[in-house]
Amino acid sequence: MEETWFDIIRKNTSGQYITALIIFLSLLLIYFLYKLVLVDRLNNKFEQNDLIKGLISTISNLLSLPVIILTGFWLMTFVLELPELMINMIYWIFLLTFSLYLLYSLFEFIEILGNIVKNKTKQAHMVDFLEFTLRILITIIVVLWILHSIGININSFLAGLGIFGLGFAFALQNVFSDLFASITIFVDRPFEIGDTIRIGEDIGTVEKIGLKSTQLRTPLGNQLIISNQELTNQRIHNMKRMNKRKVDFILGVSYETPVNKLEKIPNWIEEIIKNHKDTEFEFAYFTEMASSSLNYRIVYYINNSNAQNWLSNQQSINIEILRKFNDENIDIPYPTQKIIS
């Protein structure tokens, strides 16, 4: 007569039941001691360390009560004589539950690491990409581990996954080009969010660096979106990293200006520029006798990369020059037409 599940279970002795019960209760005791005593003490000890606190939280999520209970049932199958189907069912339920909690815990730890890194860098797009990549890799590894644990041959699965990956990469080669360009931007850091850059004829402030494109805000207020591949293939002028800004201009005076005043103009201009904050005078020379004016070439630097300070200093210096010329009765010529009748 064929034995039933009940007959098989009845074969277990009282000692086997006591051993299984001790295993189960020991796991529960360890769980409650860890939760009630160790976790609070560790959190208080490493209160200022976000990484350690994240690791403690990850372990706490993995060692949850459902996982502990199913672990206890699974360990009890090594002590008790149970039907093979029941043992397999308990193992599969334990394996699936443990895998889900493992994925959840690892994903949470990756997110905690990502937030820590984001607080120390402006390259948030690369952190998001690395988080996304790690999630996919961990998921694939856990799924393969589950399939292997339940006795499925994963060699053919891996071969098919490789072929699928090659086809996927070929179909999205342009996207991957932008993606690798994004990695180049992350590693080299030619600019960061908030920097003002010039690419070709375009200029703007970096608002967002994505995995495929970078977004700029132009001085006119419109948004300019450039692919990362295009960015890395061009010369990038980072205006924010300028230590100083050069001002180079031509100043013309009329031919009626006396020679003694022409000789003094460079000294006047030098004095005006040096009296302004954050300025560095280079030179001022009488360089050209043009058709309608006597031209001076003037060069100086403003030791500040801020565009508003640059424009403000230029304005102030220009007004002082005009005021000085007005006091000395020096005219600045402008185009005129003479009609002869």
The confidence score (pLDDT) of residue 339 equals: 54
**Tokens encoding 13:** 């002795």
Which residue shows structure tokens 């999205």? 172
Q: Phi and psi dihedrals of 306, rounded to 5?
A: -70, 130
Least confident of 43-47, 62-66, 220-224: 43-47
Which residue shows structure tokens 């003094």? 264
| pLDDT, tens digit, 9 for 90 and up, residues 204-224 | 888 887 777 788 888 777 888
| pLDDT, tens digit, 9 for 90 and up, residues 280-307 | 889 999 998 988 889 999 999 888 766 6
Q: Phi and psi dihedrals of 320, rounded to 5?
A: -65, -40
Q: What is the 3-state secondary structure of 28-85?
A: HHHHHHHHHHHHHHHHHHCCCCHHHHHHHHHHHHHCCHHHHHHHHHHHHCCCCCCCHH
Output 6-9 pairs: Cβ under 8 A, ≥24 positions apart: 8/81, 8/82, 8/83, 9/80, 9/81, 9/82, 9/83
* 136 vs 37, more confident: 136
Least confident of 82-86, 291-295, 323-327, 337-341: 337-341
Least confident of 29-43, 221-235, 304-318: 29-43
The confidence score (pLDDT) of residue 222 equals: 81
**Tokens encoding 204:** 């703007």
- Average pLDDT along the chain: 77
| CA atoms lying within 13 Å on the CB side of residue 279 | 24
The confidence score (pLDDT) of residue 297 equals: 93
Q: Is the pLDDT of residue 256 over 70?
A: yes
E strand segments, the chain: 196-199, 202-209, 213-217, 223-227, 236-238, 245-253, 279-289, 294-302
Region 137-162 average pLDDT? 72
Q: Can you give the residue ranges of every domain in the chain?
A: 5-169, 184-238, 245-327
Query: Which fold would CATH assign to domain 245-327?
Result: Alpha-Beta Plaits (3.30.70)
Q: Is the pLDDT of residue 195 over 50?
A: yes
Least confident of 7-16, 42-51, 52-61, 191-200: 7-16
Top mean pLDDT of 226-230, 318-322, 330-334 is at 318-322
* 156 vs 192, more confident: 192
Q: Is the pLDDT of residue 156 over 70?
A: no
Q: Is the pLDDT of residue 1 over 50?
A: no
Q: What is the CATH number of domain 184-238?
A: 2.30.30.60
Nearest to 180 by CA among 169, 171, 191: 169
Region 60-89 average pLDDT? 80
DSSP 4: P
What pTM was computed for the model?
A: 0.49
| pLDDT, tens digit, 9 for 90 and up, residues 123-141 | 666 677 677 778 888 888 8
Q: How far apart are CA 54 and CA 123, in angstroms?
A: 22
Least confident of 14-18, 96-100, 111-115: 14-18
Confirm if 129 and 179 have CB atoms less than 8 A apart.
yes
> What is the dihedral sign for C-alpha 260, 261, 264, 266?
negative
Region 22-32 average pLDDT? 82
Q: How far apart are CA 72 and CA 23, in angstroms?
A: 7
Q: How far apart are CA 301 and CA 247, in angstroms?
A: 6
Q: How far apart are CA 143 and CA 109, in angstroms?
A: 19
